């Protein structure tokens, strides 16, 4: 699976580092679904903190929520594989988390009178949903759709980097730039996936 702009080595190292933690959590009875629910709850709280200007707290809570988003998969693997309900819950939670983050960014854009932030957040929200939908629909039709520079992991990294720049360096434009970058890269990813799926399905129909 493509990690987009996130180097594959970094993604593998992150997953490898979480494996021992996941095994311990599984051993004490903590399920992947529990971590999924906790992760989306933390993300919603972090988004709310972002809206009210608690940048440091928002960054910390959102980072833990993002960690949970990776950890649930590791726990599922430690348990011998995830369940169908677990996969459904994880996908639903991801969409809820994306909605919380980009809705918070749009709310900030509206309250601060920043049209670039507002519309970038709206485009990022729409494109991120469509990127995930295209992949799910393609896989239901027997095609792969994992290409593109901005899968969900990459989108989270960019947004968190933007919040960190704003919180640590007191530079709000870094957050605006991050959201605009997600909007652009998500749109490019959407286009690339649609083209890839169209080519794959056309090839199958020609056989």
CATH number at 191 reads 1.20.120.1760
Query: How far apart, in whole angstroms, are the C-alpha atoms of residue 52 and residue 191?
Result: 34
Answer for the pair 133, 146: CB distance below 8 angstroms, yes or no. Answer: no
- Residue 173 in any domain: the answer is yes
Closest CA to 129 of 167, 165, 166, 102: 102
Helix (H, G, I), strand (E, B) or coil at 114: coil
- Residue 2 in any domain: the answer is no
Q: Among 69, 90, 94, 98, which one carries the catalytic annotation?
A: 94
**pLDDT of the chain, 207 residues: tens digit per residue:** 555 666 666 666 666 777 888 899 999 999 999 999 999 999 999 999 999 999 999 999 999 999 998 899 899 988 888 788 999 999 999 999 999 999 999 999 999 999 999 999 999 999 999 999 999 999 999 998 889 998 888 999 999 999 999 999 999 999 999 999 999 999 999 999 999 999 999 887 666
94 has catalytic annotation: yes
Query: How far apart, in whole angstroms, are the C-alpha atoms of residue 190 and residue 73?
Result: 24
Map tokens 């809705």 to a residue.
103
- Residue 175 in any domain: the answer is yes
- Residue 93 in any domain: the answer is yes
Q: How many distinct structural domains can be found in the chain?
A: 1
- Alpha-carbon separation of residue 156 from 46, 55, 78, 181, 207 (angstroms): 13, 16, 24, 11, 39
> From the CB of residue 165, how many other CB atoms can be counted at a distance below 10 Å?
18
Find the angle CA(190)-CA(195)-CA(197) to the nearest 5 degrees.
95
Q: Which residues form the domain of 55?
A: 8-201
pTM higher than 0.85, yes or no? yes
Query: How far apart, in whole angstroms, are the C-alpha atoms of residue 155 and residue 69?
Result: 13
- Residue 182 in any domain: the answer is yes
Query: Which pLDDT score, from 0 to 100, does residue 16 have?
Result: 72
């Amino acid at each position: 699976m493509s990690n987009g702009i996130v180097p594959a080595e970094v993604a593998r190292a992150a997953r490898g580092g979480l494996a021992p933690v996941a095994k311990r959590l599984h051993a004490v009875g903590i399920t992947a679904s529990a971590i999924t629910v906790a992760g989306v709850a933390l993300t919603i709280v972090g988004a709310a903190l972002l809206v009210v200007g608690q940048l440091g707290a928002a960054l910390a809570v959102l980072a833990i929520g993002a960690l949970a988003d990776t950890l649930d998969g590791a726990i599922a693997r430690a348990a011998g594989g995830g369940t169908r309900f677990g996969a459904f819950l994880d996908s639903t939670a991801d969409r809820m988390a994306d909605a919380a983050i980009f809705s918070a960014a749009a709310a900030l854009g509206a309250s601060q009178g920043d049209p670039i932030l507002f519309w970038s957040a709206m485009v990022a929200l729409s494109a991120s949903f469509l990127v995930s939908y295209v992949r799910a629909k393609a896989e239901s039709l027997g095609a792969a759709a994992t290409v593109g520079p901005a899968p969900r992991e990459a989108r989270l990294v960019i947004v968190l980097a933007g919040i960190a720049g704003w919180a640590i360096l007191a530079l709000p434009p870094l957050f605006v730039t991050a959201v605009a970058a997600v909007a652009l890269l998500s749109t490019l990813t959407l286009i690339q996936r649609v083209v890839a799926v169209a080519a794959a399905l056309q090839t199958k129909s020609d056989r």
